[in-house]
Amino acid sequence: MGVNPKEWAKRIIEGDIRAASRLMRDIDDRMPWVSEVLKELYPHTGRAYVIGVTGSPGVGKSTLVDVLIEIFRGKKLEIGVVVIDPTSPFTGGAILGDRIRMQRHSTDSGVFIRSLATRGSMGGLSRSTSDILRVMDAMGKDIILLETVGVGQDEVDVVNIAHTSMIVMIPGLGDDIQAIKAGILEIGDIFVINKCEREGAERMEREIMMMLELGARREDGWTPKIVKTEAIKRKGVKELVEVIEEHRSFQEDPERKKMFLQKALRIELITHLKDQITTRILDAIGHEEGLSRAVDEIISGRIDLYSKSEEILNRLMC
């Protein structure tokens, strides 16, 4: 595409929504021109505060995000929202399905909402996500809310991008407690019990509290907080914002800030390298066709998997 990366970056920094949308779409498609613009944007980033909102499907993440947008807009903050959607395609400007909950904000120029599909078999979700967050950062968004479903590996990576990570749960879903056992204790800065009007909210709160007490002390010294909300009635969300702000002040300590950045950049750099290497390998062997040929060779017994993988890598290194 015949764009001047400097010009394009300038438009984005000035808040041009169309320029940003176009770049974001091409980030998802891994178009080559994208990295040139990202390089230009990089010096203009590092200011936005990213809040991760993670939880099982239907727990009320989008409803919470919608109310959070309202409260943050009341504080005159510019907001970005990234919804990582396991099903729908990258929607550009459109807000589909459950994002309808945030639709009332779509006419507000201070709110920029994008949904990012987890399509693509070679992973890379985390990379697209951090690139897209960076574009919103360069646009001048003060707060970026990042909604992701579940607590799979991709989401754990996403949690490393967020300055504050909220895990949203609801009473009555036994598997959420299992998920806590499976390791989200370490990654949640704030545990939100949404739909708290339901039976079992207090018990759930006690259970989480107990697990937090039993668990190892967090490396960074933060004591995770539990907040009960009823997002649909806006209940508890103001208190949630206060806790988010408390965690933010905690994170703003220069030493902690440095630690966070080191960890986040380390993960991002490795992800980026892996992604580039994968792309190069796939280019070198001829993508799907080449992959099928290599697999056929292994199946036919002409070569074993290990030698084939070495052979491909060696070819790449030459």
Binding string, 73-112, against ligand GTP, x = CB under 6 A? Answer: -------------------------x--x-----------
Nearer to ligand GTP, 11 or 101 (CB): 101
**Residue type at position 249:** S
CB proximity list for 209: less than 8 A, separation 6 or greater:
226
Residue 183: left (phi > 0), alpha (psi -120 to 50), or beta? left
Please, which residue, 199 or 289, has the CB nearer to ligand GTP?
A: 199
Among 43, 58, 89, 120, binds ligand GTP (CB under 6 A): 58
130 binds, among Mg ion, ligand GTP, none (CB under 5 to 8 A by kind): none
172 lines the binding site for ligand GTP (CB under 6 A)? no
Backbone torsions φ then ψ of 152, nearest 5 degrees? -75, -175
Smaller CB separation from Mg ion, 98 or 246: 98
d(CA 69, CA 134): 19
> Taking Cα atoms as reference points, which of 51, 242, 241, 237 lies closest to residue 143?
51
Q: How far is the CB of 21 from ligand GTP (least distance, A)?
A: 21
Q: Is 26 in the site for Mg ion (CB under 5 A)?
A: no
Please check whether residue 238 is in contact with residue 71, taking contact to mean a CB–CB distance below 8 angstroms: yes
246 lines the binding site for Mg ion (CB under 5 A): no
194 counts as binding Mg ion under rule CB under 5 A: no
83-112 residues near Mg ion, rule: CB under 5 A: 98
Output 11 or 61, the one with its CB closest to Mg ion: 61
Identify the burial level of 35 via C-beta atoms within 10 angstroms of its C-beta, where 0-12 means exposed, 13-18 middle and 19 or more buried.
Answer: middle
Considering only the stretches 11-19, 104-112, 191-199, 260-268, report the one whose residues sit in contact with ligand GTP under the rule CB under 6 A.
Answer: 191-199
Footprint on residues 59-78 left by Mg ion (CB under 5 A): 61-62
Distance CA 144, CA 114 (A): 11
Rounded Cα–Cα distance for residues 135 and 104 (Å): 23
Between 92 and 97, CB nearer to Mg ion: 97
Residue with Cβ nearer ligand GTP (113 or 139):
113
Residue count, binding to ligand GTP (CB under 6 A): 17
Does 194 bind ligand GTP (CB under 6 A)? Our answer is yes
Nearer to ligand GTP, 167 or 294 (CB): 167
303 burial type by CB count under 10 A (0-12 exposed, 13-18 middle, 19+ buried): middle
Neighbours of 14 (CB within 10 A): 10
**62 counts as binding ligand GTP under rule CB under 6 A:** yes
Nearer to ligand GTP, 55 or 124 (CB): 55
3-state secondary structure of 84: strand
In this structure, what DSSP letter does residue 301 have? Answer: T
Q: Which secondary-structure segment (H or E) carries 54?
A: strand 49-55
Residue 230, binding choice from ligand GTP, Mg ion, none, Cβ under 5 to 8 Å by partner class = ligand GTP
Beta bridge partners of 113: 81
At residue 116, φ and ψ (nearest 5 deg) are -125, 120
In whole angstroms, the minimum distance from the beta carbon of 195 to ligand GTP comes to 4
Residues binding ligand GTP (CB under 6 A) = 55, 57-63, 98, 101, 149, 194-195, 197, 230-232
Residues binding Mg ion (CB under 5 A) = 61-62, 98
